[in-house]
Homo-oligomer: A and B are copies of this chain.
Amino acid sequence: MSTITAPPAGASLADRYDAVRACTETLASPLSPEDQTVQSMPDVSPTKWHRAHTTWFFETFLLGPRLAGYRERCPEYGYLFNSYYEAVGSRHPRAARGVITRPGIEEVAAYRRHVDEAMAELVDRVARHPADGEPELIELGLNHEQQHQELLLMDIKHVLSCNLLRPAYRPAPALARGSAPPATWLDHPGGVVEIGHDGAGFAFDNESPRHPLLLLPFAVASRPVTCGEWLAFIDDGGYRRPELWLSDGWFTVQAERWEAPLYWTQDGDGWEVFTLAGPRPLDPDEPVCHVSQYEADAFARWAGARLPTEAEWEVALGHAVGTGRDFDAARVHPVAGDGLGVGEVWEWTGSAYLPYPGFRPAAGAVGEYNGKFMSNQHVLRGGCCATPGGHVRPTYRNFFPPAARWPFTGLRLARDPA
């Protein structure tokens, strides 16, 4: 796999467009046509679908309405590669994305080139004569594609994990093994604080408006929970004690027969973890990853603590977002490290994903981007080892249903003052 270099801060829109689009292709490059076609569960999408869907976004929301003379590559792609934009028309059922054999990956590559050529023209025009909202819409498309780069990685990890052969995404580099420092508590006095995006630079609509709120005093842990700590939870009967669990969580534990995080398997006396480089022995110092919000909540209760709210997280740890190690496409796995450990795993919060006071979704179909998912999901903060460089912000709100385990999800403890 070629090296992926994030565009330097202050890069032109054209350079940024090229860099983001190239990154997707680099991430897909170790994968065969067969690998790129499969959908292993309804939540997962095939690699080639990610490559085509992100392209369809530019075609539908930018080239079609704004580039005179643009000819769409194939009229049916709107049906095949729309994800959920109800306003744009009907679409191929999400759970059946894995039955589409054609277009194959060669034609998907050609589709991407077709759109990139047209976008080069449009970006050039926009750079010279930006119309209402055009730069923002291009920027949205790029951030959208970066989100799908992370989805591509977590999805292909799930696909490969279903195979008894336990194949690797790419040849395995020597995975760094760090050492987890002891966790300490970082106290915060509470008070009236502000969270949310202040409008400088790109942000998704769900990060706005910035608004004040009142926090009571609290403390957060100085690093995420580790695999070693999770082993203690397992050994203490954590997955068998209903009193530790929310009712929905306990139901899910039993229905899904969860006994450990996703991708952990017992190997004789020890545990093995499936990674994008194939299976490897569990490293107790690593941040625990691939746990659901239900598991995170139960662990916190077991530990005599709780999950932080998203506001607590933002005011206590937001400054550390994006200052960790850079995204390394060849080493997509959380590692123990110095500092606060922000950016290795998405950290579940105790906050439901709901609109901020005064929230207004963007106008038109792109307004379906975030707001419509504001039910039955929880907020995660901080970014992870699969998040492209420069993509997250202190105010970034990721969200998943509480039973989701295939994202790179971990947790950090919080507590009220003694």
Contacts and interface: CB of A to CB of B under 8 A. Distances in A.
B247 A84 contact: yes
A102 B375 contact: no
A212 interface: yes
A104 interface: yes
Contacts of A48: 34
A165 to B, nearest CB: 5
A37 B222 CA distance: 46
Contacts of A216: 211-212, 357-358
A102 B350 contact: no
Contacts of A374: 246
Interface in A155-175: 159-160, 162-165, 167
Interface string A355-393: 101100000000010001111100000000000000000
A70 interface: no
Contact of A350 (B105, B211, B354): B354
A394 interface: no
Interface in A27-44: 32-40
Nearest to A165: B76
A213 interface: yes
Contacts of A293: 375
Interface in A1-57: 32-40, 48
Contacts of A269: none
Given A246-B373, A249-B375, A373-B246, A33 B358 contact: no
B164 A92 contact: yes
What band does the interface of chain A fall in when counting residues whose beta carbon is under 8 Å from B? 35 or more
A243 interface: yes
A255 interface: no
A151 B193 CA distance: 41
A131 interface: no
Interface stretch (A93-101, A318-326, A339-347): A93-101
B101 A38 contact: yes
A55 B66 CA distance: 54
Contacts of A235: none
A108 B246 CA distance: 31
A39 to B, nearest CB: 8
Nearest to A377: B248
A4 B191 CA distance: 48
Interface string A213-227: 110100000000000
A47 B272 CA distance: 33
A226 B228 CA distance: 56
B246 A87 contact: no
A256 interface: no
A402 B416 contact: no
A388 to B, nearest CB: 24
Contacts of A355: 306, 350
Given A34-B105, A246-B373, 16 more contacts: A33-B34, A34-B48, A35-B101, A35-B104, A37-B37, A38-B38, A39-B99, A76-B164, A100-B162, A101-B163, A102-B163, A102-B167, A212-B216, A214-B214, A247-B373, A250-B372
Closest 5 CB pairs of A and B: A352-B352, A86-B242, A33-B33, A214-B214, A34-B101
